[in-house]
Amino acid sequence: MEILLVILLLLVALVTVVLLRTVLLKPTPAKEAKVPLDNNERAVEYGKKLSTLVKKETVSSRFEPDRTKFLEFHEILEEMFPNIHKTCEKHVFNGSLLFKWSGKGNHEPILFMSHHDVVEATGTWEHEPFSGDIDAEGRIWGRGTVDTKASLFCLLTAAEELMAEGYVPECDVYLASSCTEEWSGEGAPATVQYLKEHGIKLGLVLDEGGMILEEPVGGVIGTYGMVGVLEKGYGDVKFIARSNGGHASAPKKNSPLVRLGKFMVDVEKNYPFQHQFNSTITEMFTRMAPNMNFGMKLIFANLWLFKPLLTKLLPMINSAAGAMIRTTIAFTTAKGSNGLNVLPQEAFVTANMRFSPHQDDKESIAIITERAKKFGLETEVIYSDSPCPVVDYKAAPFKRLEEVAAEVYPGVGICPYVMTGGTDAKYYKEVSDNCLRFAPLYINAQQYASIHGLNENIYQGALPHGVDFYKKMIQKS
């Protein structure tokens, strides 16, 4: 009886602590923060210029070596940004750009970048994908508006306007733009190689990544700027099933395609990779917790208690959040026989993998290779690279970004997070310890979903804020 009473008292104490921690967690200004999107004279001017950049089609492909379209895009930039081209030292690496704006040399150099190549634009769009149309609400339509000609325009405009004022930065400022980002091509590596050869160590690299969103995670109320401090590793893997083939009229059991199918189903049902909260994920949810609905706040305000359970459940609740805490594998292409009535001697599927820091490319590939062997499959690694080093969100470069964001976007919360996609920033880890991934532009849920999809667009009213952000980042460096 006494033991039951003690257990009951402990449970009451536990519930009391959990509820108190939840109730005492008060909302932050991010809950009410809004980004004004006025179509003022400045926004209209910027919108027209971005429209010009969007109209120039710059779809890139690893199978197309011709760089003519990108050199033509450079000519548009030269006309639009004359001060940059007069003031800066310019380098072109087979269509990828690097400008050096010499400063006073008082601090470590910094680099801002955003790529100018885009993915293809298939399907039926509300506005033609390279029209650059600007509608009555001030939205600029076209492939590349969000990913990433808008941020490229903003960073170049910031430098152009500062140069026009006669401003000289305290440090050397580099402006980079690859034309091969969309397929992890040679543009960024060539730029990094140049920096290494010249002994340049960068105090900060700021590339595309997270943006400014309302309700970035379901159940989180408010507006947040999501800053990538960790980029997962990338891999493409091929799984091959072999047999003697034969006529489809007399099939044997466990033919190549069947074994591949069983393997894929098994991977989905019995996921082979570990789920683990890292410090970045914990910090992200800690910063968001005050503005969560009550049920979520109760859980995330008490991660000390619920983290083990949440680690298991998060991938089931939200695929994007789940991808932050584990290696992911997505089956993407497949091939069997060339004949409709022929059993294949060889069939394969490919998978795209994104490696978590706690199970890097080598460990994750070893795990999936062992799983594939159970179904008589061979594994071929087409490409892989390791996860990037984690940037310290307590360090000066991140703090500087937070300070500037607070000035340009009052009240908006800033959260470190794990990038589940890839950027050119991964190549810069050799020349900088502070590669942050953040495009300082407000977009809504539809615009976020349009990245690599249909109807990509951005508000012209978001552009002045982006320009101001880059200006202040330069001035405070």
Distance of CA 171 to the CA centre of its chain: 27
Q: Looking at this protein, which amino acid is placed at residue 266? A: D
Q: Where are the alpha helices (DSSP H) in 1-149?
A: 2-23, 41-55, 68-80, 82-87
The confidence score (pLDDT) of residue 1 equals 64
Comparing CA positions, the residue from 154, 167, 175 lying closest to residue 85 is: 175
How far apart (Å, rounded) are the C-alpha atoms in residues 156 and 46?
Answer: 12
| pLDDT of 187 | 97
Average pLDDT score over residue span 280-306: 93
> pLDDT tens digit string along 189-218?
999 999 999 999 999 999 999 999 999 988
Whole-number pLDDT of residue 3: 82
pLDDT number for residue 250: 83
What is the rounded CA–CA span in Å between residue 159 and residue 172? 12
**DSSP classification of residue 147:** I
State the pLDDT at residue 29. 96
d(CA 420, CA 404): 25
Is the pLDDT at 336 greater than 80? The verdict is: yes
Instruction: Give backbone dihedrals phi and psi of 357, rounded to 5 degrees, phi first.
Output: -65, -35
- Report helix angle 41-55 to 68-80, nearest 10: 160
pLDDT at position 7 is 74
pLDDT band at 222 (very low <50, low <70, confident <90, very high): very high
Q: What is the pLDDT of residues 421-436, one digit of tens each?
A: 899 999 999 999 999 9
Domain boundaries defined on the chain: 41-230+388-475, 233-385
Share of the chain above pLDDT 90, in %: 87
Q: How far apart, in Å, are the Cα atoms of 25 and each of 16, 20, 303?
A: 14, 8, 13
Give the model confidence (pLDDT) of 5-62 as tens digits: 767 777 777 788 888 899 889 999 999 999 999 999 999 999 999 999 999 999 999 8
Percent of the chain exceeding pLDDT 70 equals 100
398 near 283, Cβ under 8 Å? no
Q: Rounded to the nearest 10 degrees, what angle do helices 41-55 and 150-164 cross at?
A: 120
Query: Which residues make beta-bridge pairs with 212?
Result: 225, 442
Place of tokens 């543009």: 187
Position 440 pLDDT exceeds 90: yes
Q: Among the ranges 19-33, 270-284, 313-327, 459-473, which has the highest mean pLDDT value?
A: 459-473
Q: Which architecture characterizes domain 233-385 according to CATH?
A: 2-Layer Sandwich (3.30)
pLDDT in tens, 84-132: 999 999 999 999 999 999 999 999 999 999 999 999 999 999 999 999 9
Mean pLDDT for the chain? 95
Can you list the alpha helix ranges (DSSP code H) found in 374-462?
396-408, 445-449
Please say whether the beta carbons of 327 and 354 come within 8 A: yes
Distance in angstroms (rounded) separating the CA atoms of residues 97 and 112:
12
Fold classified for 41-230+388-475: Aminopeptidase (3.40.630)
Mean pLDDT of 397-405: 98
Q: Measured between alpha carbons, how far is 68 from 59 in angstroms, rounded to an integer?
A: 12
Degrees to nearest 5, angle at CA 164 with 436 and 465 = 40
Return d(Cα 448, Cα 459) in angstroms, integer: 12
Choose among 436, 442, 438: nearest CA to 463: 442
pLDDT single digits (tens) 64-73: 999 999 999 9
pLDDT value for 266: 98
pLDDT for position 178:
98
DSSP 8-state code for residue 423: -
pLDDT at residue 2 in the model: 76
Question: Is it true that 41-230+388-475 and 233-385 share their CATH fold?
Answer: no
The answer to whether 466 and 441 are in contact (CB under 8 A) is yes
Positive or negative, the CA dihedral 447, 118, 461, 158 is: positive
At position 279, the amino acid (one-letter code) is S
Helix (H, G, I), strand (E, B) or coil at 274: coil
Q: Which residue has the higher pLDDT, 316 or 225?
A: 225
> Which value, in Å, is the radius of gyration of the alpha carbons in the chain?
25
